[in-house]
A and B are shown apart, each in its own frame.
Chain A
Amino acid sequence: MIGSNFRQSMTWLHTWAGLVVGWVLFFVFLTGTLGYFDTEIDRWMQPERPVFDGNIDSRQAITLAEQYLNNEAPEAKSWRVTLPVNRNHSDLIVRWKPNPEIDHNGAKIYHGTVIQTLDLNGEVVNYRETGGGQKLYKMHYDLHYVPELVGNILVGICTMFMLVALTTSVIAHRKIFQEIFTFRPFKKQRSWLDIHNIFGVLALPFHFMITYSGLVFFYLTLMPLVYFGVYGNNESKAVSDTKMYPPPIVRSEHSAEMMPLSFFYDKIREIKGDNTVVETINIDHPNNGAARINVRILTDNFTYSQDWLFDGVTGELIADGEQPAGTVFYRDFLGIHEGLFADISLRWLYFISGIFGTAMIGSGLILWIQKRRIKNLRLGLPIPMNIQLIEKFNIATIVGLPAAIAAYFLANRILPLDLPNRVSAELDVLFVTWLLLTFHALLRPRHYAWMEQLLFAACLFILVPIVNSITTDRGLFTSLANLDWVYVSFDFLSGVVGIGFIACAYLYKKYSADSSTATEAEDTPADTQNLAEG
């Protein structure tokens, strides 16, 4: 056993499970939390877009999309029409995947999916290219630079650490519910422990939900052996049992005329009632003998969706969208993770819970350092090199990452609009800023690293609304006059976060001053290496 009893061994496990992947978890929680406002961030990052797009009838939108796709890509491998029905799907978007070409050597050349946004007249709209809130949210499970599968697995493993840290925390903090009401300010290590506990306990159900459902997203990627153990190579049984995915189909040799897409819209409303919300229509092998239409409808509570399959040529129903209890539970669980059903007040609650989670991780990382610094200082020992290093990475994560996100927002306004690969450029600004701040933290003595980064982050966030008002005609006062709440909230919050960083810098200066007598010595590299025990 590690430690002398159950609680101590679990405390040990909590500390190390949290520390080892703490930086990644901080990144995942922060970017994931911003994802609760992904659509709103998209809006802010495309200032050319009108404040209100106007409404379009779904049936009319389907016809517009169909005309466009028939002109542009009649022979595609698949089409997808996403209808503007709610906050999350606020645009008419068409996508198509071209069929692979055969070159003169007989090899297949694959082309990527083409995505276009259409306006109310079915014309392609060209707002500025931006990663928007979507890329910001997506990086919390694909880590942006690595292949998606690798990113999923890495985030999945870190999420498993998170689940271990959470479960053991309930045991480690014996009096967990008393601790909500415990706050001992300005007591250094005790204060950080209390802060860590408050953020942890106040949103504990959220933290468990978000972590467990995060794992469930990748159930096949993380637990492939269960799938192979149960279904082996029998994919068709897995598909028909769970109804998780539509069954695969084979392209036909000959082309065929399809029923108009509006036919399927009418048909699903005939089956499921006139209030049915059609979110997406997928068309496999359009204008082909094997054409299949997948109509995705939202259930009443919006937490999950159903896929209804039709034959594209005859218009007959192939498979209804009713799912077994397990799949409904699974989709509901993921729906609760994504919070797409949440109205604006619940959405803010999601956001705040996510920020609590981020703060819990950040304060846990700081707490780990504080504990070891104080112990060494009391014994009159120098601070070991590895503890100094970990603190540097803490600074680069806790302050450097938010600063880098502010730089991403600024890049959206400052980078030239006709820059090729503008989306990647914006994201490169984010990660290069983060990298530079990491170097900065490593090179500067800890006090300067903290102070300079806090003030730098403050500057960037305060610049966001200022640069917005200079580069666009949608500054804070104009937005207020237009009751443009997305812009008002974004600019206002950026300013508040900036001022918050200044406050942090002030508090840091004030409460680290009394321990500064011991700090001169420790900024020189120490020779002791005694991190072995936690």
Chain B
Amino acid sequence: MQMHPKLLVTFRVIAAVFIGYLVATASGIFLSLILPTDDGSAFVFGIMATFAVWVVAIMWSFYASSLKRVWLGLLIPTVLLGCLIGLVRSLS
């Protein structure tokens, strides 16, 4: 299927903004849970790191060679992080 270039960019933007935000949020929570410091510091460092993760996700959204790779490249880490968060939560 041939997609109009403008539509293609729109989908990349949507992935960058929304899925990128999800990956960033998930990694923030994950870091808050696993960083080997006191709980408060882990939370503060974790939430501060989210912006860097988001930037990387945005860059990926415009670099990946196809739309499919964009979405997979963002959704797989999100789901993986979600599972890890659940795992860490159930262990502690």
B10 on the A face (CB < 8 A)? no
Contact of B59 among A164, A231, A326 (CB under 8 A): A164
Taking a contact as CB atoms under 8 Å apart, the answer to whether A230 and B24 are in contact is no
List which B24-71 residues lie within 8 A (CB) of chain A: 24-25, 28-29, 32-33, 37-48, 50-52, 54-55, 58-59, 62-65
Q: From DSSP, what is the main secondary structure of chain B's interface residues?
A: helix
Distance (whole angstroms) from the CB of B91 to the closest CB of chain A: 16
Interface residue tally on B, bucketed by range:
20 to 34
Nearest residue (CB) in B for A229 is B29
The CA of A244 and the CA of B40, in the complex, are separated in Å by 9
Taking a contact as CB atoms under 8 Å apart, the answer to whether A532 and B5 are in contact is yes
Contact of A9 among B38, B43, B47, B63 (CB under 8 A): B63
Contact of A12 among B44, B45, B62 (CB under 8 A): B62
Stretch at the interface among A218-226, A309-317, A513-521: A218-226
Interface size in chain A (residues, C-beta < 8 A): 41
A223/B59 contact (C-beta < 8 A), A241-B40, A327-B40 known: no
- Residue among A1, A167, A230, A333 with most chain B CB within 10 A: A230
Contacts of A319 in B (CB 8 A): none
Taking a contact as CB atoms under 8 Å apart, the answer to whether B62 and A160 are in contact is no
Nearest residue (CB) in B for A159 is B51
Taking a contact as CB atoms under 8 Å apart, the answer to whether A212 and B41 are in contact is no
Taking a contact as CB atoms under 8 Å apart, the answer to whether B41 and A324 are in contact is yes
Contact of B38 among A6, A219, A241, A244 (CB under 8 A): A241
Contacts of B85 in A (CB 8 A): 229
Distance (whole angstroms) from the CB of A7 to the closest CB of chain B: 10
A136 on the B face (CB < 8 A)? no
Taking a contact as CB atoms under 8 Å apart, the answer to whether B51 and A216 are in contact is yes
The CA of A155 and the CA of B40, in the complex, are separated in Å by 27
Taking a contact as CB atoms under 8 Å apart, the answer to whether B47 and A219 are in contact is yes
Q: From DSSP, what is the main secondary structure of chain A's interface residues?
A: helix
Contacts of A327 in B (CB 8 A): 40-41, 44
A13 on the B face (CB < 8 A)? yes
- The interface bits of chain A over 183-207 (1 if a CB of B lies within 8 angstroms of the residue's CB, else 0) are 0000000000000000000000000
Distance (whole angstroms) from the CB of A242 to the closest CB of chain B: 4
Nearest residue (CB) in B for A2 is B62
Distance (whole angstroms) from the CB of A19 to the closest CB of chain B: 14
- Residue among B29, B40, B50, B65 with most chain A CB within 10 A: B40
Q: A12-B62, A167-B59 are in contact. List 20 more A-B contacts (CB 8 A).
A: A2-B12, A9-B63, A163-B55, A219-B47, A223-B47, A225-B25, A226-B43, A229-B28, A229-B85, A230-B43, A230-B46, A241-B38, A242-B44, A324-B37, A324-B38, A324-B41, A325-B37, A326-B37, A326-B40, A533-B5
> 20 pairs across A/B with beta carbons < 8 Å?
A1-B62, A2-B12, A12-B62, A160-B51, A160-B55, A167-B59, A216-B48, A223-B24, A223-B28, A226-B25, A226-B29, A227-B47, A230-B43, A240-B40, A324-B38, A325-B38, A326-B38, A326-B40, A326-B41, A327-B41
The 9 A-B residue pairs with the shortest CB-CB distance in the complex, in nearest-first order: A326-B41, A326-B44, A241-B40, A226-B28, A229-B29, A242-B40, A324-B40, A324-B41, A225-B25
